[in-house]
Amino acid sequence: MWAIFMLLLTNSKQMNFLKSFFSFSVLILSIYSCGNNRSPIQKDAVVTVTNTFQSTAFTMDEEVAIEDLFMAPAGSLAATATISEDVEFPAYLLNLYDIDIDRNSIEFTVVAQENDPTYGELFRVLEANTFDRYYFTFDEAQNVREGNSNNSSVNFKTIEDNVFVVEITEGYDFKPGQNFKISLD
């Protein structure tokens, strides 16, 4: 091995080839590393949130648009925002949640109060076969591989490279001030 190394050192063409090969390898690794270190959500991305609900008690186990439950026009409770330093969806869904999206997470906080005329009587621990789903559709593909919730009753799913679902289900303590965060990778 040592003899081969000495031979290479004495042959300038081979040495130049090795230097070029090494430089090219470093360049390729740098480009690959930079591409894989992007934030899951891109700043200034445009996102629309919509909501569906499914339960035995309220929807006969059918997933329905939230507008159907509120008897509102189709799509009227959807909201669109641009990812920024601000809360993207303050008081979303008739003052139910603040939804804040940053480059690495999605955070929900219940802002409705205990005596809220729309939600006050609905606060409870969610029962089995109940699914409150929030669909986030981005204008472009994002770099999200997975999401992990700090609440065991909240799941994150990737539908497409620009569509993600936060699913709140059985055991979620639906009450004023409740907060959970999805960390994105």
Q: How many CA atoms lie within 13 A of 87 on its CB side?
A: 11
Task: State which amino acid sits at residue 52.
Answer: T
Q: In the chain, what is the greatest distance between 2 CA atoms, to the nearest angstrom?
A: 85
Q: Residue 167's beta-bridge partner residues?
A: 133, 155
Find the length of the chain: 185
State both tokens at 42: 């891109």
Q: What is the pLDDT of residue 92?
A: 98
- How high is the pLDDT of residue 38? 83
What is d(CA 102, CA 109) in angstroms, rounded to the nearest whole number?
Answer: 14
Query: CB–CB of 145/185 below 8 Å?
Result: yes
Q: What are phi and psi of 116, to 5 degrees?
A: -55, 130
| Structure confidence at residue 10 (pLDDT) | 56
Six-digit token string for 12: 């300038």
Q: Average pLDDT for consecutive 10-residue bins of the chain (185 residues)?
A: 50 53 45 61 97 95 97 98 97 98 98 96 96 98 97 98 98 98 97
> How deeply is 73 buried, as exposed, middle or buried, from its count of CB atoms within 10 A (0-12, 13-18, 19+)?
exposed
Strand-pair partners of 122? none
Task: Give the model's pLDDT for residue 12.
Answer: 55
Distance CA 156, CA 102 (A): 16
Q: What is the pTM of this model?
A: 0.81
Beta strands (DSSP E) in the chain are 46-55, 64-65, 79-82, 89-91, 97-102, 105-110, 124-125, 130-138, 147-149, 154-160, 163-168, 173-174, 179-184
